[in-house]
Amino acid sequence: MKNFSKLEKNLGVKFDNKNLLKQSVVHRSYLNEHPEFELDHNERLEFLGDAVLELVVTEYLYLNYSNPEGELTNWRASLVNSVMLSTIARELDIESFLYLSKGEAKDTNIKARNYILANAMEAIIGAIYLDKGYEVSQIFIKDKIISKLAEILEKKLYQDPKSRFQEVAQEKAGVTPTYKVLEESGPDHDKHFVVGVFLKKDLVTKGEGTSKQEAQVNAAEEALDIKDWE
């Protein structure tokens, strides 16, 4: 039995309609195994929460920063992307309250779990909005999500991983990273690339993707982690 009063405490929001909070953490896969479950999955709440989150963040950035649109767009994307939302979801221990199928619960794929957590985070925002209205949603988003903006700006996390790795590699190692396709496979309509990122002649790590660009970005992201240069 899940203790939703603990989740309310983690979120800092007391719900009038507890079922809204409960529904926000129900993944579609759970209903496949439990069709008798009394609530629907969280995708409609996620749809609503996504819009509320984007509005609150956009409004905050517009009112507090006079930067050009392009910069504000990048900052917003860094605040509302799945990596950031899943990180915050873990901080709030939302994962303990998810309703998942047995298969999903056992799945060790980090990216897949991050996606589920990010969606649950948006669904929770949707539930807060329906239960408590815009102002409480705004307070929650400022406290839990917009509070990460200072770190994003300080570490330049709003840059894409390739730009970030290049800047930090030049700063720390005096070297501009280079990328080289190490493997290429599959038919033209379904290519798979493995790309290495190098500092001078040293291979830092590899990245994979369905395009060279995607593989390069994944390699840069992995390189930042390996070098602990985030």
Residues carrying an active site annotation: 50, 122
Rounded to whole angstroms, the Cα distance separating 123 from 47 reads: 7
The CA distance from 122 to 94, in Å, is 12
Q: Are 199 and 173 in contact (CB under 8 A)?
A: yes
d(CA 100, CA 67): 42
CA distances for 200 relative to 140, 178, 190, 223, angstroms:
46, 8, 31, 14
Residue type, 183: E
Residues forming beta bridges with residue 185, ordered by sequence position: 192
One-letter amino acid at 75 equals W
Q: Which residues pair with 197 in a beta bridge?
A: 179, 205
Is residue 29 within 8 Å of residue 103, measured between CB atoms? yes
